[in-house]
Amino acid sequence: MVLGGGLLAGCVSSAAVVPPPRQAQPAYSGKTSVTVPIGAPVRASAAVPAPRGTLDAGFRRAPAGLNDRLYALWRSFPGKTGIAVQRIDGEWALAQRGGDLFPQQSVSKLWVAMAVLDAVDNGRMTLDQRVRIGPEDLVVFHQPLASRVQAQGSVSMSVRDLIETAITQSDNLANDSLLRTVGGPHAVRAFVSRKDLGSIRFGPGERLLQAGTAGLTWQQSYANGRNFQAARAALPMATRQAAMNKYLADPVDGASPSAIASALTRLARGTLLSPQSTDYLIGVMSRTKSGPKRLKAGLPPGWTFVHKTGTGQDLNGMTAGYNDIGIATAPDGTRYAIVVMMGSTTSSIPARMQLMQAVSGAVAEFHGR
C-alpha cells in the first residue's frame, strides 16, 4: 500500500501551520518492522504557568518544530496512518491525514458511553438502571462477561458497571448491551449528529461489524467458543480478502483523527455532557487497562493519560485498525487530545507501539516551548 502524500495540518483560530515541503511518499514494502525516529529523550516539562492576564507561547499556535516532528513520524511509517494533536486549553490543532476515515474498532465504545451518559443527563436512563444479559446477547471476540452469562444462564448489571466494563476492559458484550439499552446504533448516530461531532461514523454493532469484515453473515452460534474463528477460516481466501478490502475502503465505523481529537477536546472542556457525566467518563477512561504500551507509554513521569484503544481483525499479517486516542495532561495542567490511528499495517506490534510512543513523547517534549 502506498502511503498517502497529503499533509493535513491546520491551526484553529490562528495563522495556519506551514507544512514541510511535500515529498513523494515511500511505497509500502511489505516488511514487518520499521524504524521510527523518536528524537531526543523526553523529560517532564518544567514549564511555569503564565502570569495572570497573559498567554503562554503555545496557546495560540503550536510549538515550533512539533509539526515537523509529527510529519516525519507519520511519513516514516508504512501503511495508512493518521495522527491528530489538539491543544485542549488553546487554539491550535495539527494533523497528518486528519480528514481521512479510519476503522475505529473499539474506539467507538466511547461514543456508546457518551450516548448513554447523554441519555442519563436528559433523564431517559439512570446509571443504576439494571440490564439483563442472556445467551442470546453474546457477541464475538473479547467478551469476559460471556463466561458469567454461560455459567449463570444470565446476569444483571447496572448501566454504571457496564460502562466501566466496556471502557476499562473493552468488553464487547458489555458495550453491545449498553448499545441495545440506549436504543441501538441509531441512538448513537443521533447523538453524534446532534452534537455535530463531524466525521465520526458508528457501525451496526459488534456482531454485524465483525462478521461483515470477515466475509460472513452473522449467526448467533458464532458467539460460542471459537465458532466464529472456525467459520471465518473455512471461507475461501478470496472471499475474506474482498470483504476486508471493502471494509478498509469505506469503513462502516470509520472516523477521522481530527474529528476524534475535536470530540475529545469538547469532552474535556465540558461541552458535550453534564459536568457530572464529564467527570465520570474521564474517570472511567483513566482506568483503561488495554494498550499500556501505546500512547500512554510515551509520556514522561508527571503526565497523566486517559484513553480508549481499538484493534481490528488480522488477515495475512495485516491489522485493520490499530488505534489509541486520549487526553494527555501535563504537570502544569495543560491538556492535549492525541489520536493515532493505523488503518492498515503489517508492521510488528512493537513498531506500532513505538510510533504511538513517539507521537505522545513529541507532544510532551515540545510542551512549554
Q: Residue 5, Cα to own-chain centre: how many angstroms?
A: 23
Please write the tens of the pLDDT for every residue from 186-201.
Answer: 999 999 999 999 999 9
Question: Which three cell numbers mark 137?
Answer: 446477547
Q: What is the mean pLDDT of residues 92-116?
A: 98
The DSSP code for 343 is E
Q: What is the mean pLDDT of residues 115-126?
A: 98
Q: What is the mean pLDDT of residues 47-57?
A: 43
Q: Given pLDDT bands bounded at 50, 70 and 90, which one contains residue 56?
A: low
Q: Are 351 and 290 contacting, i.e. CB atoms less than 8 angstroms apart?
A: no
pLDDT at 6: 33
pLDDT at 49: 41
Average pLDDT, the chain: 87
CA distance 199 to 260: 8
Please write the tens of the pLDDT for every residue from 174-185.
Answer: 999 999 999 999
CA distance 124 to 127: 10
pLDDT at 40: 35
CA distance 180 to 177: 5
CA distance 209 to 313: 11
CA distance 84 to 341: 9
Q: Given pLDDT bands bounded at 50, 70 and 90, which one contains residue 344?
A: confident
- In CATH, the number for domain 1-104+253-369 is 3.40.710
Partners of 200 in beta bridges: 255
Matching fold, domains 1-104+253-369 and 108-237: yes
Question: Which three cell numbers mark 172?
Answer: 464487547
Please write the tens of the pLDDT for every residue from 20-46.
Answer: 433 333 332 333 233 333 333 333 333
Q: Given pLDDT bands bounded at 50, 70 and 90, which one contains residue 325?
A: very high
Q: Are 32 and 317 contacting, i.e. CB atoms less than 8 angstroms apart?
A: yes
pLDDT at 31: 30
Q: What is the mean pLDDT of residues 357-362?
A: 98
pLDDT of 9 over the 70 cut: no
pLDDT of 14 over the 50 cut: no
pLDDT at 4: 33
First to last CA, the chain: 36
* Bridge-based pairing state of the strands 314-315 and 322-329: unpaired
Sign of CA dihedral 155, 158, 163, 168: negative
pLDDT at 345: 87
Region of residue 224 (phi > 0: left; psi between -120 and 50: alpha; otherwise: beta): beta
High-pLDDT (> 90) share of the chain, %: 82
Sign of CA dihedral 353, 7, 109, 116: positive
Q: Are 366 and 323 contacting, i.e. CB atoms less than 8 angstroms apart?
A: no
pLDDT of 173 over the 60 cut: yes
Please write the tens of the pLDDT for every residue from 232-268.
Answer: 999 999 999 999 999 999 999 999 999 999 999 999 9
C-alpha separations of 43 from 139, 328, 331 in Å: 43, 15, 11
Q: Given pLDDT bands bounded at 50, 70 and 90, which one contains residue 7?
A: very low
Please write the tens of the pLDDT for every residue from 76-88.
Answer: 999 899 999 999 9
Domains of the chain, by residue range, sit at 1-104+253-369, 108-237
DSSP string, 11-62: -TTSPPPPPPPP-PPPBP---S-------SPP----PPPPPTT---TTTTSP
Q: Are 10 and 16 contacting, i.e. CB atoms less than 8 angstroms apart?
A: yes
Specify the fold of 108-237.
Answer: Beta-lactamase (3.40.710)
High-pLDDT (> 70) share of the chain, %: 85
Backbone φ and ψ for 24, nearest 5 degrees, come out as -60, 135
CA distance 39 to 109: 33
**Angle at 324 (CA atoms; ends 318, 325), nearest 5 degrees:** 145
pLDDT at 34: 31
Partners of 94 in beta bridges: 85
pLDDT of 341 over the 60 cut: yes
CA distance 155 to 264: 32
Q: Give the helix ranges, DSSP H, for the chain.
A: 66-76, 109-121, 145-152, 159-168, 172-182, 185-194, 206-214, 227-234, 237-249, 257-269, 275-285, 349-366
Q: 172-182 vs 145-152: helix axis angle to the nearest 10?
A: 80
Cβ atoms within 10 Å of 39's Cβ, excluding its own: 15
CA distance 267 to 118: 12
